[in-house]
């Protein structure tokens, strides 16, 4: 995330303008200079890579978590996460709106997973 997604000019501008970025190593033994691991994640994944060490939290000034994503996200995919977090931020005083946005986001994600699963079966059947 640090060397690819957060170094993307569009992402960096948005994050630096509207967020307070903080880097914390959650996993023991994972170092900020661990470029081999980051390079492997980038080369071996298209849009996202699941990992427990990388986590992005979107929080209020009172340190309440509005949203959390785990793992590596490509710049294009992470942009969608930033747009979603912006919607949550605008509604931080309206819990019903936050719940509705989370439900809408979950439904969109579920629909995308279903499409990918069906596509995978189609590809497998053709082979």
pLDDT beyond 60 at 30? no
Could you give the 3-state DSSP secondary structure of residue 108?
Answer: helix
Q: How confident is the model at residue 1 (pLDDT cuts 50, 70, 90)?
A: low
Query: What is the pLDDT of the chain when averaged over all its residues?
Result: 75
Long-range contacts: 55-61, Cβ < 8 Å, 24+?
A: 55/26, 56/1, 56/81, 58/19, 58/85, 58/88, 58/89, 60/89, 60/92
Q: How confident is the model at residue 20 (pLDDT cuts 50, 70, 90)?
A: confident
pTM above threshold 0.95: no
Among 67, 62, 96, which Cα is nearest to 80's? 67
Q: What is the mean pLDDT of residues 3-21?
A: 81
Domains in the chain: boundaries: 1-93, 94-127
Which of 73-77, 85-89, 113-117 has the weakest average pLDDT? 113-117
CA distance 66 to 89: 7
């Amino acid at each position: 995330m640090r060397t690819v997604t957060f170094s993307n000019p569009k992402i960096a501008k948005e994050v630096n303008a509207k967020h307070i970025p903080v880097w914390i190593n959650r996993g023991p033994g994972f170092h900020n200079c661990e470029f081999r691991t980051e390079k492997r994640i980038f080369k071996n994944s298209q849009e996202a890579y699941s990992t427990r060490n990388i986590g992005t939290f979107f929080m209020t000034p009172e340190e309440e978590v509005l949203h959390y994503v785990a793992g590596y996200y490509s710049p294009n995919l992470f942009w969608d996460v930033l747009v979603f977090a912006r919607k949550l931020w605008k509604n931080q005083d309206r819990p019903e709106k936050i719940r509705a946005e989370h439900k809408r986001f979950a439904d969109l994600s579920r629909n995308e997973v279903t499409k990918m699963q069906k596509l995978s079966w189609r590809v497998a059947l053709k082979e």
